[in-house]
Amino acid sequence: MGKENIYSAFVIPSEVEESLIWMQKDFEILAIDRDSKARCGRLTTAHGAIDTPAFMPVGTQGSVKAVSPRELRELDAQIILGNTYHLFVRPGLDVIKHFGGLHNFMNWDGPILTDSGGYQIFSLAKLRKITEEGVEFQNHIDGARAFISPEIAIEIQAALGADIAMALDECVPYPCDYDYAAQSAQMTTRWAKRCKEWKQENAERPTSNAQPRNPHVNLSAIRNPQSAIERKLLFGIVQGATFDDLRKENAQAIVDIGFDGYAIGGVSVGEPEGEMLRAVESAEPFLPEDKPRYAMGLGTAPQMLEMISRGMDMFDCVLPTRLARNGTAFTATGTLNLKNAEFARDKRPVEEDCTCPACREFSRGYIRHLIKAEEILGLRLITLHNLHFYLNLMNRARSEIERGTFEQFRKAFGAEYKTRDTTAVE
């Protein structure tokens, strides 16, 4: 993109224009919307570049549910997410190391971001004990005890071969007592510092021998172990529950440590949408403009557009795959529960003008039949459609930002989008 296109989205005085475009080793800003904080960027990793805003399909167990890596590539997924805790418990690091890292193990040649296990501190609250040293789990598979410290969390992610590793944090529940939230945020900061220190101290250790097949991969980094190590990115996570002052304080503390990118965690854990947006708004001004920003674990299509307008760059969410398994499809006008009887004779695709495999080849009526008959193909087709919808939404957002029309697009999309009851009506 030429400079004249970069600036087409906004008008700025010449004396400050250079300060508004950043070019870093790993992340560059390509365009900024004139009416919001939305921006287009490019994040470079050892396994290829990621154009932002970007949605990351969730592959908790080393697999995006019901979808193969080949299908993900055909959907133009740029990066997927894996989970440190789940892969550590099963199949275990020895198995993944035996196959040369997570990329080789699952036959995915694009970037991978791995969660640190912090979310499991929240979701497996009855099976864990938190101390200053780390978290002791009674794992959910066989009840065996496992311990993850900040250092162990980063070591596991390095063994997996993650392109982007996340610092270990504590994700507190909603609602949360102020004093506990404050103590937790302070501990998250101390843990984040230990994560960075481990990475710095172990920077010269050999990395995974996975050989990417992506033609956009920086091959010089792969051939040069030290360069490849430097391409392994580490993101810090901002916590603070729903308290503005804690969010601001924790954001500044995490930024002072210095990371390759910054995530806002502890959102979409049951709080009202207004509180979720406020948590991001409180932290965002303290995050460096020249680093990628990741809003963790959300959300619906309108929520992601709201987050983009507030300066967020990266997202992950289980909704596209989870709701697909319940027969729910996403469209530009809202969700459709294809179990409903109204679709039994519907010859239309899930969404008109959609280019996903499900919409190109099958009708709503047929997909409903598959879901009602509990045929696996039905949930696979809806999953492919939903992932295509989320990924295409990010592509559209990038185009609108480049044109300087993102805010108009966001408002129009939100006005048309309706979240319908996902309970089947016979």
Report the distance separating Cα 269 and Cα 292, nearest Å: 22
pLDDT of residue 120: 74
CA-to-CA separations, 251 to 133, 145, 259, 372, in angstroms, rounded: 22, 32, 12, 47
* pLDDT surpassing 80 at residue 341: yes
Q: How many CB atoms are closer than 10 A to CB 275?
A: 15
Q: How many CB atoms are closer than 10 A to CB 248?
A: 17
CA-to-CA separations, 149 to 12, 121, 256, in angstroms, rounded: 47, 12, 21
Q: Residue with structure tokens 């295509």?
A: 388
Mean pLDDT, residues 37-55 taken together: 98
Report the distance separating Cα 211 and Cα 223, nearest Å: 10
The answer to whether 248 and 283 are in contact (CB under 8 A) is: yes
Report the distance separating Cα 338 and Cα 186, nearest Å: 46
pLDDT of residue 422: 53
pLDDT of residue 423: 52
* pLDDT surpassing 60 at residue 3: no
* pLDDT surpassing 60 at residue 330: yes
Report the distance separating Cα 421 and Cα 337, nearest Å: 8
Mean pLDDT, residues 349-365 taken together: 98
Distance of CA 302 to the CA centre of its chain: 16
pLDDT of residue 329: 98
* pLDDT surpassing 60 at residue 2: no
In 3D, which of 122, 127, 154 has the Cα closest to residue 138?
127
pLDDT of residue 138: 83
Q: Environment class of residue 138 by beta-carbon count within 10 Å: exposed (0-12), middle (13-18) or buried (19+)?
A: middle
pLDDT of residue 421: 59
Any bridge partners for residue 130, and if so which? 135
Residue 304, token pair as written in the block: 């992601």
Mean pLDDT, residues 316-326 taken together: 97
* pLDDT surpassing 50 at residue 13: no
pLDDT of residue 67: 98
pLDDT of residue 363: 98
- More confident of the two residues 299 and 6: 299
Lowest average pLDDT, out of 11-20, 26-35, 182-191, 395-404, goes to 11-20
User: For the chain, what is the mean pLDDT?
Assistant: 88
Span 205-252, pLDDT tens digits: 544 433 333 333 333 333 333 444 457 999 999 999 999 999 999 999
Span 243-274, pLDDT tens digits: 999 999 999 999 999 999 999 999 999 999 99
Residues with a catalytic annotation lie at 115, 316
- More confident of the two residues 421 and 78: 78
> Residue 179: which pLDDT band, with cuts at 50, 70 and 90?
very high
In 3D, which of 68, 82, 93, 155 has the Cα closest to residue 119?
82
* pLDDT surpassing 50 at residue 159: yes
CA-to-CA separations, 388 to 43, 49, 214, 332, 351, in angstroms, rounded: 21, 19, 20, 12, 11
Q: 294 CB contacts (<8 Å, ≥6 apart)?
A: 235, 261, 262, 263, 264, 312, 313, 314, 315
Span 96-152, pLDDT tens digits: 999 999 999 999 999 999 998 877 767 777 778 899 999 988 887 888 888 899 999
- More confident of the two residues 33 and 128: 33
* pLDDT surpassing 60 at residue 14: no
Report the distance separating Cα 296 and Cα 344, nearest Å: 37
pLDDT of residue 123: 73
Q: 293 CB contacts (<8 Å, ≥6 apart)?
A: 261, 262, 263, 264, 284, 287, 311, 312, 313, 314
Q: Residue with structure tokens 């966001």?
A: 410
